[in-house]
Amino acid sequence: MIRLPALLLALLLAGPVAESPVADAAQRGDLDTIRVLLREGADVNSAQNDGMSALHWAAQNDDAAVIEVLLYAGANMAATTRLGGYTPLHLAGRAGNASALEALLSGGSDPGTLTSTGVTALHFASASGRTEAIEVLIRHGANIDAGTTSDAQTPLMWATASNRLDAMRTLLDAGADPSLTTSVVDYVQIAAEDIPQRRLRAQLASVRRNAERGGGPPPAAARSGTGQLQSPPPPEEEAEEDDESEEDEESPEEQEGTENENDEGEDDTEEQDNAENESEDEEASAVGERPERPEPPAEEERPLGYTDLVGKEGGFTALHFAARDGFRQAAELLLAHGAELDQPTAGDGTTPMLMATINGHFDLAMHFLSEGADPNATAEDGAAPLFTVLNRRWGPKAAYPQPQAFRQQQTDYLELMEALMVAGADVNHRAGRHIWYTSFNFDMLGVNFSGATAFWRAAYATDLDAMRLLVAWGADPSIPTRKVPARRFGRRGNQEDQSGLPPVPTGGPGVHPIHAASGVGYGEGFAANQHSHAPDSWIPAVRYLVEEHGADVNARDLNGYSPVHHAASRGDNELIDYLVEHGADVTFVSRRGETTVDMANGPRQRVQPFPATIALLERLGAHNNDNCQSCQ
C-alpha cells in the first residue's frame, strides 16, 4: 500500500485554496495591509473558499473604517457566501453591528436583500437583540413585518423566539404587527400530492425485489410497450385509487392493537401482519393489481392515517412562540402591545394557553388564565387544557426529546387543573381524535385517546389525586374512549370474533376508565417501556373506581378484554386477586380468542410470559391456549 506524506494528503483533501489577500487582511482587521494591497492592484472582491470577501469580514467585525475603504475601492455589497447566500449586510445584522450596518446602508446596501432561505438583515438583528442595529435598519427602510420566504416568520417572531425583550419592544414600538402568522403546512395535502411518486417508488421497489430473488425481468404489466418502467398515471386518472392509497398508510390506530376492532368487532392482528400486507399491496400495485378489501359501511367514518391526525401545523403568531417556550415576560410584552390572548394558530387552531399546557409551561398557562384565556379552547384534535395538562405531566417515556418544563414550574399541575375548573373548564369534555403528539409516528402504548376525558387520562396514569380532584368538580368517572374505524388488511378482516360479544359500532364505547387503570395496552407491545403513571398506584386507582364509583370489574373494552386481561398482561397477581374478590370472571375470551391466561403468557413476540400469573389464573379456572409467542 502506497502511503502519501501527511502534508500532501492534507493538501489534496483541502482542495484548491482561493487567493484572497484582501479578505485575509480584513479578517485580521489589518487596515494598513488592505490599503497597501489595494494600491498594488489586488482584487477587493476576491473571496475565500467559503465566499467570505473582505467586505463580509469587515461587516462581521463591525469595522466601519475598513468598510469605508473597501466601498471606495469598489467592493461588491451584493456578494454572497457559498452557503446560505449571506451578504455583508446579513452578517452585520446577525452580529448586531450597528456601525457596520450604518456604513453599508449609507453606501447603498439594500435592506430588503434576502439570504438563500429568504431571511433579511432585520431578522438577524432582531434575533441578536441589539436594539441599535434594529433601529439603523428600520431608519434605512427595512420592512419591519417582512416574512421569511420559507415560513413567513417576521423579525418580531425571531426576537420572541430568542426571548430578546429589548428587541421586541423596539420592533413593537416601531409598529411591528403581533397578529401576523407564519405559513401553514398541510400534511394531508402533501401526502396526497406525493401519491404518484409513492406509486412509482412501489414499482421500483418491486422490480428490485424481483431482481434480488432472481425472478428475471419485471412483470409485463409494470413495463410499457417500449420495455421501459411505466410512470404512474396522471392524478386525474387515479382519483379513486388515491383514496385507496391513502388508506394504505399505517396509522396509530393500526399500531395500537388494543383499541382497533374491525367492522365486525374483531381485533387487529400483529403489526408484522400489517407490514406484510402493505408489502403485498405495493407489489400488487406494481403489476397493476390491488387486493380486494371490503369497503366500510357508508355511515362509518374514514380511518385516519398519521398525516390525518397531524393535519396542519404552523400559522403561529409571536405570542405562540412565547407560549411554546414559556417566555412569560415576552408574552406579557406582546399582550401589552395588542396581541390577541386567544388567537388560534392558522394551522390546527391551538391557542397560546393550550400551547403552553402542551409544552408543560404551567406558570405561563396560569398567567394566560388570569388574563382571561378561554379554559375550554381546543385545537383540531379536540384536546382541551385539562386533558393536555395531565397528558404533559404523565407524558410517555420516549427515545425522542419530550418537553420537561413542567418539572421546573412553580405551578403544580393539580393547581393549574383546579384553576382551569374554577375558570369554567368543561370537566367532561372529550378529545375529538387520537392525540398525535402523544407518541409521534412510532406508538408503543397501544392506546387511542379518541373520546378520552381528563378523568380517563388521569385513570390511565393511575393518578388518584387528579381523579379525586376531577370528581370533586363534577367529572363523570364512567365515560369511556370512543371506538374509531379501523382498516382491514388481507386476512386480518376474516378473523372470527371469538368473544361472543356484539360488535361495537364506530363511535361506540372503546376503553373504560377501569381498563385504563388496569393496564390497557400492555399485552400489545412495548407499553411497559413507555407508559408513564403514578408509582404503586394500580390497585388504589382500580379500588377507587370500584368501591367509590361502582365500576364494573367485568366490563369489556371494544376488543373484548376485561380488567383481568389487562392486569394479567402486566403480571399483576395482586390486582387479579382484588378483581376476583369483587366478582371478576377470569374465563372471558377476547375478540381475538385470547383468555386471561393467554395475556399472561406472552401473546405477542415482544411480551414475556409471567409464570406466576399463568399459574394463578389456571388455578382460578382460566384456560391456557399455550400461545406463548416469546417461547417459540
- Rounded percentage of the chain residues whose pLDDT exceeds 70: 81
Residue 74 CB neighbours (<10 A)? 10
Instruction: Give 362's DSSP letter.
Output: H
Superfamily of domain 6-177: Ankyrin repeat-containing domain (1.25.40.20)
pLDDT value at 336 more than 80: yes
pLDDT value at 482 more than 80: yes
pLDDT value at 224 more than 80: no
Which of 78-112 are b and which e, b meaning 16 or more Cβ less than 10 Å from the residue's Cβ? Answer: ebbbeeebbbbbbbbbbbbbbbbbbbbbebebbbe
Domain ranges of the chain: 6-177, 374-619
- pLDDT-based confidence at residue 210 (cuts at 50, 70, 90): confident
The predicted model gives 572-597 an average pLDDT of: 97
Q: What confidence tens digit (pLDDT) does each residue in 137-184 have?
A: 999 999 999 999 999 999 999 999 999 999 999 999 999 999 999 999
Same fold, 6-177 and 374-619: yes
353 φ/ψ angles, rounded to the nearest 5 degrees: -65, -40
pLDDT value for 215: 61
Instruction: Give 548's DSSP letter.
Output: I
State how far the Cα of 157 lies from the Cα of 353, in Å rounded to an integer.
17
The predicted model gives 91-98 an average pLDDT of: 98
pLDDT value for 233: 43
pLDDT value at 490 more than 90: no
pLDDT value at 252 more than 70: no
Instruction: List the grid coordinates of 58.
Output: 469587515
Query: Three-class SS of residue 229?
Result: strand
Amino acid (1-letter code) at residue 219: P
Q: What confidence tens digit (pLDDT) does each residue in 429-468 have?
A: 999 988 888 876 667 888 999 999 999 999 999 999 999 9
Which of 236-240, 291-295, 480-484, 513-517 shows the lowest per-residue confidence on average (mean pLDDT)? 236-240
Residue 299 CB neighbours (<10 A)? 8
- pLDDT-based confidence at residue 25 (cuts at 50, 70, 90): very high
The gap between the terminal CA atoms of the chain, to the nearest Å, is 50
CA dist 597 → 260, 267, 326, 501, 610 (Å): 21, 18, 48, 19, 9
What CATH number does domain 374-619 carry, 1.10.10.10, 3.90.1570.10, 1.25.40.20, 3.40.50.1980?
1.25.40.20
Q: What confidence tens digit (pLDDT) does each residue in 299-326 have?
A: 456 777 778 888 888 999 999 999 999 9
pLDDT value for 262: 33
Which of 20-29, 48-57, 65-74, 225-234 shows the lowest per-residue confidence on average (mean pLDDT)? 225-234
Helix (H) or strand (E) holding 185: strand 184-186
Helix (H) or strand (E) holding 183: none
Let me know if 165 is exposed, middle or buried by CB neighbors in 10 A (0-12, 13-18, 19+).
middle
Mean pLDDT, the chain, integer: 85
More confident residue, 309 or 566: 566
